[in-house]
Structure 1
Amino acid sequence: MVTEIDDRPRVLVTRATGQTDQLIAALDAAGVVAVPVPTIDVELAPGGGALDEAIQGVGSYAWVVVTSTNGALAVLRAAERVFVPFEATRWAVIGNATREVLEREGVDVAFQPSLSTAAGLASELPVAPRDRVLLVRGNLADDRAPAILGRRGAVVRDVLGYTTVEAPASSVGLLAEAFAGPLEIALFTSGSTVRGLVGLADLEAIDVRRLPAVCIGRETATEAARLGFDVVAVASAPDTQSLAHTAARAIADLRRDSAPIAAIRKGGSRR
């Protein structure tokens, strides 16, 4: 019996558990094998807290601003709990991936900025003085977005939608298994996925920085470069399809410009 060997390039996918299916499918369509190692855990805000309260009164806000797919999932979950209609207000999102999450559930997104960053969204959002804005974010978000909106005259309620835990212990073994075979690049979808990978690697003494990095956006690329990765490509748009296509092109470029990247093993180097 002949065993078929899959010689397609393998890439490290660092998204949280439960959020990789679309990316894995897009990579597969692009001829790339995804090797999932969740470098973060995401915990959506529980029921009965500030998010439920804010969503229950969503009609009193001029805008609901969601700055990530996890924020979108948190808002949808809260809306289900408190039975609030999505059309009660206007919705603004940071980029295509967040828009897709909301639109799949029937939410009509009214605004998306030209620059897919939280600061870009806050700077471009069409607000009038004293407009009430509900901003749903994660625990690792910085203060730029609420500060910009405040300077523009908006009255901002900043609510925690989810908590991100970097370098979850459950992924330590998965990382060691992933690096037992050849890997060509690492895919990063947020700064926290970069930091999470570095944290996991430190526990296993794996030199993950030897992997070239492909990032979903400029802010993620900046964090990857800060932590010592060679960022070889950034997706043209912050969504799954763009990231998968960018990864496939980056691998082709790397293979054309140099010898194929060999297996990077624990404590080892490129060979």
Structure 2
Amino acid sequence: MTRAKAQASALSSQIEANGGIPVEMPLISCKEVEDKSAIHNAITSIHTYDWLVFTSKNGIDFFLKDFEKLTGTTKIPCKIAVVGKKTEDILTDYGLQADLIPKLFVAESLLESLLSVLHTGERVLFPRGNLARTVIPESLRENNIYVNELDVYENMIEASSKNQLFQAILHQEIDVVTFTSSSTVDNFVKLLEGTNWRDHIGQIVFASIGPITSKTMIKHDLPVHVEPKEYTIQGMLNSVMENLKEDKKC
């Protein structure tokens, strides 16, 4: 599991429940931004926005923690859009409900859904990480919609995992590598630079959470053995198990 340590426990539990051995090897970590002036300005002017758009759990957590700290509440006066079911569940934990959730849990589907309900001149606040994709804000601006891209957290490479990662691959200690974002793929390749890791991955199953992550894997010449139809952690895990069952049959 290559996702951030704070997010790995749920997947670990699911893997154990299905008879697997979870190996947590975070390749990415998140931290709050140091200068919060832009965040505070956005929060104090939240009433001027028509929509609040979240595309990740971290976006919700970092923004709403600052929002609650500054206002004393998590009540949001504008409509809220989320990218998927898991993101919606996190929102519910804060006592909020999503007004819009796309059919497919990817940014492109969320963009399509937003364009069907947004009107020219409306204002959108988009809390995000510093490495977030820009497909949504760029396309909304092309349709004359104002978007404030607000960095509420920073993604950092987890350099401490470098040696553990290489040794695990070298000694064939892992059977499956799961990628839950393009950032984890980028960091995987970056951390292994200068080693002969590609000579030792022949038996490893590489799993992607969805098409955007798969595209990044292909860019780095990594095989995509698994990509679920439902772009969620559970969907990916189910697809991994199906893949392993097929291998055993062969």
- After TM superposition, the score normalised by the length of structure 1 is 0.82
Rate the CA distance shift 1:49–1:26 in 2: closer, same or farther, 3 A: farther
**Counterparts in 2 of 1:105-254, with a 5 A limit?**
105-125=94-114, 126-166=117-157, 168-179=158-169, 180-207=171-198, 209-210=201-202, 211-254=204-247
Query: Using the alignment, how far apart are the partners of 1:15 and 1:234 within structure 2?
Result: 16
Deviates more, 1:113-122 or 1:151-160: 113-122
What SS does the corresponding residue of 2:127 show, helix, strand or coil?
Answer: strand
Identity %: 26
Match of 1:40 among 19, 28, 31: 28
Q: Give the residue type in structure 1 aligned to 2:46.
A: V
Q: Which amino acid aligns with 2:65?
A: R
Q: Which runs of 5+ in 1 are unaligned?
A: 1-12, 258-271
Worse-matched range after superposition: 38-47 or 189-198: 38-47
Q: Which of 36-45 and 178-187 deviates more?
A: 178-187
Letter in 2 for 1:91: I
> Structure 2 counterpart of 1:76, which letter?
L
Q: Compared with structure 1, are the counterparts of its residues 88 and 142 closer, same or farther at alpha carbon in structure 2 (3 Å cutoff)?
A: same
Change (3 A) 1:141 1:123: same
The question of whether the paired residues in 1 share the 8 Å contact of 2:74 and 2:95 is answered with: no
How far has the Cα of 1:18 moved from its partner? 1.0
> Which stretches of structure 1, 4 residues or longer, exceed 6 Å deviation after superposition?
none
After superposition, the C-alpha distances for 1:25-79 in whole angstroms (9 at most, x for unaligned) are 1111222211111111212334733123212322221110011122122222222
| Offset at residue 204 of structure 1 (A) | 4.8
Contact kept in structure 1, 2:106 and 2:231, CA below 8 Å: no
Residue pair 1:172, 1:204 contacting (<8 A) in 2 also: no
Q: How far has the Cα of 1:256 moved from its partner?
A: 2.5
Q: How many residues align?
A: 244
Deviations 1:212-256 (A, max 9, x none): 211111100111122122211212323222222222222222332
User: Closer, same or farther in 2 for the Cα pair 1:52/1:203, shift >3 Å?
Assistant: farther
- Paired with 1:253 and 1:20, the residues of 2 have a C-alpha distance of 26
AA of the residue aligned to 2:156: V
Residue 34 of structure 1 aligns to a residue in which SS? coil
Mapped to 2, the partners of 1:14 and 1:36 lie a distance apart of: 7
Deviation at 1:82, TM superposition (A): 1.2
- Alpha-carbon separation, structure 2, partners of 1:158 and 1:61: 12
TM-score for both structures, normalised by structure 2: 0.89
CA contact (8 A) 2:226 2:236 kept: no
Residue matched to 2:75: 86
Q: For the Cα contact (< 8 Å) 1:15–1:188, is it kept in 2?
A: yes
RMSD: 2.0
Distance, in Å, in 1 between the alignment partners of 2:44 and 2:201 is 45
CA distance in 1, matches of 2:93, 2:228: 23
- Preserved contact between residue 103 and residue 109 of structure 2 (Cα < 8 Å): yes
SS of aligned partner of 1:110: coil
- CA distance, structure 2, for counterparts of residue 147 and residue 54 of structure 1: 19
Deviations 1:124-180 (A, max 9, x none): 2121111110012222223321121112231111111221123x2211233145334
Distance 1:178 1:97 in 2: 30
Which residue, 72, 75, 85 being the options, matches 2:60? 72
Alpha-carbon distance in 2 for matches of 1:203, 1:58: 47
Q: Which amino acid aligns with 2:7?
A: Q
Does the CA contact (< 8 Å) of 1:31 and 1:248 recur in 2? no
Matched, 1:99 2:88: yes
Alpha-carbon distance, 1:24 to partner: 0.7
